[in-house]
Amino acid sequence: MFLDAFRAIIANNGYEVIVCGILSALFAQVLKFILFTLQTRKINFKIFTTTGGMPSTHSAGVMALSTMVGILCGYNSIEFAISLGFSLVIMYDAAGLRRAAGKTAACLNRVMEEIYKHDLRAVGGKLKELLGHTPTEVLVGAIFGVLFALDFHLFVLGFLF
């Protein structure tokens, strides 16, 4: 009953688009936590609030959103073109600018450790180094987002579950 009401409210409108984008990013973040835990054999709940890592949550969210716009408005619509354009900018930023900023932060942290003899609190603490993504992380996030959107739309229509 709840599921039918949920489907009736969000099916084939803007709510479906935004819910899909948010849920895709959320599920990608959970997947990132699981992969990190399996790789390191350590549980770190900070992964839920950090940027960087596999897969790219930003890419998953924006590509799910763009895919859903394409499904609902058509892949030849202006809305899809705008959505995809912004998605590509965000993914480029994640793999380019934010990754470069992370590398710069790592370099600055090493320099500051040498200057301040390992007491980074004297200058405000260590800079965050994991800011961006590798191109592979962005690609995997984008693929995850597209597949999530396709499955989510089938779920909303009642074909899944």
- Does residue 119 fall inside a structural domain? no
The pTM (predicted TM-score) of the whole model is 0.79
Q: What is the pLDDT of residue 135?
A: 85
Asked if residue 13 lies in contact with residue 20, where contact means CB atoms within 8 angstroms, the answer is: no
- Does residue 11 fall inside a structural domain? yes
- Does residue 107 fall inside a structural domain? no
- Does residue 112 fall inside a structural domain? no
Number of domains in the chain: 1
Phi, psi of 36 (to 5 degrees): -60, -45
pLDDT of 40 higher than 90: no
- Does residue 19 fall inside a structural domain? yes
Alpha helices in 14-96 (DSSP H): 14-40, 57-73, 78-95
pLDDT of 117 higher than 90: no
Averaged pLDDT for residues 15-37: 94
- Does residue 145 fall inside a structural domain? yes
- Does residue 113 fall inside a structural domain? no
How many other β-carbons are positioned within 10 Å of the β-carbon of residue 62?
26
Domain that holds residue 59: 2-80+135-157
CA 39 to each of CA 42, 44, 113: distance values in angstroms, whole numbers, following the listed order: 8, 12, 28
- Does residue 12 fall inside a structural domain? yes
